[in-house]
Amino acid sequence: MCGIFFSLSSSNMIPPTQETCNLLKQRGPDSCKTHAFQKDIKGQDGSTSLLSYYLTFTSTVLSLRGDHVYTQPLVDPATQSVLCWNGEAWKIGGERVQGNDTEDVFNLFLQAVQFESKDATERLVKAIGSLSGPFAFVFYDAVHSRVFYSRDCLGRRSLLEGFDENGNLKICSICDSSSISCFREVGTEGVYTIDLERPQDPTVYPRELCQIQTLPWSSDPSPSAGHIRKPIPPMNTSLPTEQPPALTTDSPFVKELESMLRQSLELRIQNVPEPPNYLPGKTAKTAVLFSGGLDCTLLARLSHDIIPLDEPIDLLNVAFENPRVAAAAKANQQNSSSPSISIYENCPDRMTGRSAHSELQKTCAGRTWRFIAIDIPYSETLAHREQVKRLMRPHNTEMDQSIACALYFASRGQGTIQSSATDPHSHPPSYTTSARVLLSGLGADELFAGYGRHGVAFNRGGFQDLISEINLDVSRLGSRNLGRDDRVLSHWGRETRFPYLDEEFVAWVSRAPVWVKCGFGLPETEATADIDSEKLALRLVALRLGLSKVSREKKRAIQFGARTAKMETGRSKGTDALS
């Protein structure tokens, strides 16, 4: 995980503010460096300077690939081309990357633009299209005086852009503190490019110093010039011509689903480097954002088959003191003779988390599963609220804050290890996870129809409406979820990885007909009679792996499971803007 800042000005060098620099260092604690220079644009006679550009690149690095820290920005001594890279290139051209991916990506880009020619941009387009993995980058092609920047086609890494009040362009992993009002998410429609040899016409765009062009993603296997090959095909929209068969644990799709998910996980959790102060057999390299729900528990269960048995896996489970819920519970307790339960242990995600933890212990003999109970008092929520709002910008709704708050404290990984949830006299030791790699189940609900609205869509318009709803959810992941989540989760110097959003996995799921992913419209069997239709294929994989209780867990949004939603009394809605 890395932090990126880039500025382009026609008046002076514009470095990140100190606040922005500090937040970027939180994302990338292993190194921080700035590279800045002036680029003079000459007239046709080659001697007259028409315009000067000032380019500033700042990168921070969380080192998770290779055998040492690769400091960024990378600068090519021969051409002075520059790369700021925040991502994981798991594969290039279908081949797994061994060692550090940043250097491989930089060399790939340099080879594409090394010669002065009209084909350089087209070669770079093909190079970008050969990358598999989450990424955001800013690349300066010094040979042709062009700037390129982008997020991957799903938007799994944060990148924001905006022109400040003086018309200067800023691109940053987080919202730069001096330009809060103008920042927006970099779109996931393509790669964006600026030709510095062709300055913006000030009569058309008086406040902006450059023209930004888009090189769009294309699902065509052989895209036309100026288009980038998109690794994910359009969703299969076919409708059944007869009654689809029931899904079972032995259905071919369910078996292959387990295999595909396992392959995605292997890329993300094999060869994770040792974190600082590593102790073999005691220190965790990997942790799971763990609510005890289907998606995250399935990742934990499959991780058990991949990670060496003597390596602990941390399960990060967050629960909040919600004063509105606590007040209601206190009133109910006064009228009850039952023993009181901790407000944290009574959180829905804490209860499902402990249940799933118990099932993992039973099905995965010999593994040390550390259940980290992360209890957040209301006072601590208030103390960090402005920081959370700062990180999630430009998102600014009540729902954004509820989700971001839960992710922020879960990623911090600071809680206690409790051996018993029921012993009120126990004093569990404090613990902060050492893991720098976190696993998230994000994407499963969108791909496999896991939300309640998917059932509503099917009841309203059958498979056709269900397909449209799934398509909409997947298409807006980058703008609604992933950028915001990356900014919040990365604040503690950890990288979150999304196995359900691997390109090959998403492409495979997208090609499959909708009725093999979920149980809507399918006949019930004895084995599936008490299992929900949402995400039925994943539920059956969980059954195959011995997770009987987990396979039957209901879907629950994180803000309700952890109780970060509606902490104050009132009639606020999730879509309401924050003050």
For 400-415, how does the pLDDT look when each residue is reduced to its tens digit (9 = 90+)?
999 999 999 999 999 9
Amino acid occupying residue 436: R
Share of the chain above pLDDT 70, in %: 92
Query: Residue 539: pLDDT band by 50, 70, 90 thresholds?
Result: very high
Mean pLDDT of the chain: 90
- Give the tens place of pLDDT for each residue, 244-294: 999 999 999 999 999 999 999 999 999 999 998 889 989 999 999 999 999
- Taking the C-alpha atoms of residue 564 and residue 221, their distance in angstroms, rounded to an integer, is 44
The answer to whether 404 and 488 are in contact (CB under 8 A) is yes
Angle ∠(321,325,331) on CA atoms, nearest 5: 120
Q: C-alpha 191: how far from its chain's center?
A: 19
- Taking the C-alpha atoms of residue 579 and residue 571, their distance in angstroms, rounded to an integer, is 15
- Provide the greatest CA pair distance for the chain: 92
| Residue 419 pLDDT exceeds 60 | no
Query: Residue 200: pLDDT band by 50, 70, 90 thresholds?
Result: low
Query: Residue 46: pLDDT band by 50, 70, 90 thresholds?
Result: low
Higher pLDDT, 204 or 519: 519
Among 184-188, 243-247, 369-373, 559-563, which stretch is predicted with the lowest mean pLDDT?
Answer: 559-563
Predicted local confidence at residue 50, as pLDDT? 74
- Taking the C-alpha atoms of residue 355 and residue 251, their distance in angstroms, rounded to an integer, is 28
Query: Residue 346: pLDDT band by 50, 70, 90 thresholds?
Result: very high
The answer to whether 195 and 240 are in contact (CB under 8 A) is no
The answer to whether 452 and 446 are in contact (CB under 8 A) is no
- Taking the C-alpha atoms of residue 245 and residue 251, their distance in angstroms, rounded to an integer, is 10
The answer to whether 7 and 163 are in contact (CB under 8 A) is no
* DSSP-derived 3-state class of residue 174: coil
Predicted local confidence at residue 359, as pLDDT? 97
Predicted local confidence at residue 208, as pLDDT? 61
- Taking the C-alpha atoms of residue 358 and residue 475, their distance in angstroms, rounded to an integer, is 36
Predicted local confidence at residue 478, as pLDDT? 83
- Out of 2, 175, 405, 518, which one is annotated catalytic? 2
Predicted local confidence at residue 177, as pLDDT? 73
Predicted local confidence at residue 422, as pLDDT? 45
Q: Which of 499, 540, 533 is nearest to 515 (CA)?
A: 533
| Residue 202 pLDDT exceeds 60 | no
Q: Looking up tokens 């019930």, which residue turns up?
A: 524
- Taking the C-alpha atoms of residue 291 and residue 441, their distance in angstroms, rounded to an integer, is 10
Task: Determine if residue 456 is left, alpha or beta; phi over 0 gives left, psi from -120 to 50 gives alpha, anything else beta.
Answer: alpha
Query: Residue 527: pLDDT band by 50, 70, 90 thresholds?
Result: confident
Residues 6+ apart with CB under 8 A from 551: 294, 531, 539, 540, 542, 543
Which two structure tokens, joined as six digits, stand for 132? Answer: 């598999």
- Taking the C-alpha atoms of residue 179 and residue 158, their distance in angstroms, rounded to an integer, is 17
| Residue 206 pLDDT exceeds 80 | no
| Residue 149 pLDDT exceeds 50 | yes
Our answer to whether residue 2 is catalytic in this structure is yes
Give buried/exposed letters for 385-417 (b at 16+ CB in 10 A, else e).
Answer: beebbbbbbbbebbbbbbbbbbbbbbbbbbbee
Predicted local confidence at residue 543, as pLDDT? 96
- Taking the C-alpha atoms of residue 79 and residue 260, their distance in angstroms, rounded to an integer, is 41
Residues 6+ apart with CB under 8 A from 327: none
| Residue 362 pLDDT exceeds 50 | yes
Share of the chain above pLDDT 90, in %: 74
Among 20-34, 419-433, 519-533, 534-548, which stretch is predicted with the lowest mean pLDDT?
Answer: 419-433
